[in-house]
Amino acid sequence: MRSLVVRLNPLVLFSFGLFSLIGSLFVRDLTTAAWAVGAYALAALLFLPSWRYPLLCLLLSAVAAVTIVYSTWRLGGRDEREAVTAGLRILVLAWPGSVMLGYLDPARLGDYLAQSLRLPARMVAAFSAALQRFLGFHLAWQQLDRVRRARGFGAGRNPFTNGPYIADMSFALLVQALRGASASSIAMDARGFATAHDRTWAERASWSVLDRAATVLAAALGAVPVVVHLI
């Protein structure tokens, strides 16, 4: 059951972020916030393959939440409850969508955007190609890091002295991205990307029973803060 998330279609994954966005609008007190965060945490525990990635997303979302807590407390009359509520609202807004983004397949996303939502094919193909390039940055960074380590120019143990290393890696990644973009542009143009009218897609955009059940779950999780707020 915990591996079913990788079989969901991309639009279902997006629905978790959309419903969490709607639900976050009703997080206006600590009780509602606690119920909402608890519901998403329970769903992650039951349905996600591992806790490592959700915890990483939670940590990154918590950084944004802490800044909101501090600014709300500092500028909003130093009300601790209001500040914490604002921070938890950010967690409800950002955490579910960021977790689901990690299971997104850019190629399948293009298939579903064009066939299910009937978006313009040229825009969808360009967006899918750009997203694939963006998600490939992590792999490119790892490859560049291995090359530099093999040549004796790897990062040191002290993170405070790695400024030049990070600058060099960032520049190399920029060069790699520009080369990849040029190669993708030439390949797409050679395949008639600019002039094609009738396009075919790699997969049929079907909605299984699992997809429908997951969409209902996404709506139910998004409805938790709404129901708690209205009770």
Q: Both tokens of residue 99?
A: 């977790």
Model pLDDT, residue 2: 65
Model pLDDT, residue 197: 65
Residues 99, 147, single domain; the answer is no
Model pLDDT, residue 160: 65
Cβ burial of 103 (10 Å; 0-12, 13-18, 19+) is: middle
Q: Tell whether 109 is covered by a domain.
A: no
Q: Tell whether 114 is covered by a domain.
A: no
Residues 183, 126, single domain; the answer is yes
Q: Tell whether 64 is covered by a domain.
A: yes
Residue numbers of the domain that contains 48: 4-104+208-230
Q: What is the CA radius of gyration of the chain?
A: 21
Q: Both tokens of residue 118?
A: 């009937």
85 close to 33: Cβ distance less than 8 angstroms: yes
Model pLDDT, residue 218: 95
* CA–CA distance, 206 with 99 (Å, rounded to integer): 23
The Cβ of residue 108 has, within 10 Å, a number of other Cβ atoms equal to 19
Q: Tell whether 197 is covered by a domain.
A: no
Helix extents (H) in 136-208 = 137-150, 163-190
Model pLDDT, residue 196: 62
HSE (CB half, 13 Å, CA atoms) of 20? Answer: 28
Model pLDDT, residue 18: 94
Q: Tell whether 112 is covered by a domain.
A: no
Cβ burial of 122 (10 Å; 0-12, 13-18, 19+) is: middle
**In which region does residue 196 sit, left (phi positive, over 0), alpha (psi from -120 to 50) or beta (all else)?**
beta
pLDDT < 50: residue spans in the chain: none
DSSP-derived letter for residue 78 is S
Q: What φ, ψ does residue 147 adopt, rounded to 5°? A: -65, -45
Residues 13, 70, single domain; the answer is yes
Domain count, the chain: 2
Q: Tell whether 196 is covered by a domain.
A: no
Q: What is the DSSP string of 89-133?
A: HHHHHHHHHHHHHTT--HHHHHHHHHHTS---HHHHHHHHHHHHH
3-state helix, strand, coil in the chain (%, to 5): 75, 0, 25
Residues 187, 212, single domain; the answer is no
Residues 222, 137, single domain; the answer is no
Q: Tell whether 201 is covered by a domain.
A: no
